[in-house]
Structure 1
Amino acid sequence: MRFVAIFEDTPEMAEIRQQFRLQHLAYLREYASELVIGGGLRDEPGGPYLGALWVLEVESRARALEVIEADPYYQALARPYRLYSWGKAIPENQVLL
């Protein structure tokens, strides 16, 4: 099952990003089979982070929640997020990023 998580940064998140960045990146690498892609969201390239987006390929919504809430960024500060089930409009189209 595919899910999209959209995270919203709070004012405290800038400090959390600095403090836990290496642990967060190690976590993303460890769970790369379930975290298909993810990254920070900004208004403009190089601007301040406003949040993040993850695409997860997991067995269930419960597993998506587990993966999200075990992330070092989330553990340090339970930042708000929305989780949506997501389907690809044209399944046969391959995407390479």
Structure 2
Amino acid sequence: MLFALRFTDHPTAFDVRKAYLHPHLAWLKQKKDVVKAAGSLREKNSDRPVGALWIVEAENEEQALSIFADDPFWLHGLRASVEVLSWSLAFEDMLNH
């Protein structure tokens, strides 16, 4: 099953993002078989990130929630919250490129 994970960052934790960006990206690379797409979210393109959106493949919601438990951004307090939503592709081959 596919899930959309929408993370919201603590507004005062931008220093955490800067300090742990490279470990976070290395962590995402290791999880690429599960985290199918990931990226930061901004209100406007030139703004600082306010969170992130991931597309995750997991067996169920509980497994989707456990995927990011050891992500450096999560461990070091960047994230204020996470929302997990079941997600359906409009076309089966949309994530295959």
SS of corresponding position for 2:52: strand
Instruction: Write out the 4+ residue segments of structure 1 that deviate beyond 2 Å after TM superposition.
Output: 93-97
Matched, 1:81 2:77: no
Distance 1:90 1:75, change over 3 A: same
- Whichever structure has more helix as a proportion of its residues is 1
Size of the aligned set, in residue pairs, is 96
TM-score in terms of structure 2 length:
0.87
Q: Does 1:4 align with 2:7?
A: no
Deviation, structure 1 residue 96: 6.5
Cα separation, 1, equivalents of 2:23 and 2:67: 14
- Distance apart, 1:47 and its partner CA: 1.2
Q: How many angstroms apart in 2 are the aligned matches of 1:3 and 1:94? A: 14
Residues 12-70 of structure 1: CA deviation (Å, up to 9, x unaligned): 33111011111100110000000000100012212111111000012222221111222
Amino acid corresponding to residue 19 of structure 2 in structure 1: Q
- Alpha-carbon separation, structure 2, partners of 1:94 and 1:50: 26
CA distance in 2 between counterparts of 1:11 and 1:37 reads: 23
Q: Tell me the TM-score normalised to structure 1 length.
A: 0.87
Residue 26 of structure 2 corresponds to residue 49 of structure 1: no
Separation in structure 1 between the aligned mates of residue 30 and residue 38 of structure 2, nearest angstrom: 13
The answer to whether residue 32 in structure 2 is matched with residue 13 in structure 1 is no
Gaps of at least 5 residues in structure 1 are none
5+ long unaligned stretches in structure 2 = none
Mapped pair 1:61 → 2:67: no
Root-mean-square deviation (CA, aligned residues, Å) is 1.7
Report deviation, 1:95: 4.7
Report sequence identity in percent.
27
- Specify whether residues 8 and 75 from structure 1 end up closer, same or farther in structure 2 by C-alpha distance, changes over 3 A only: same
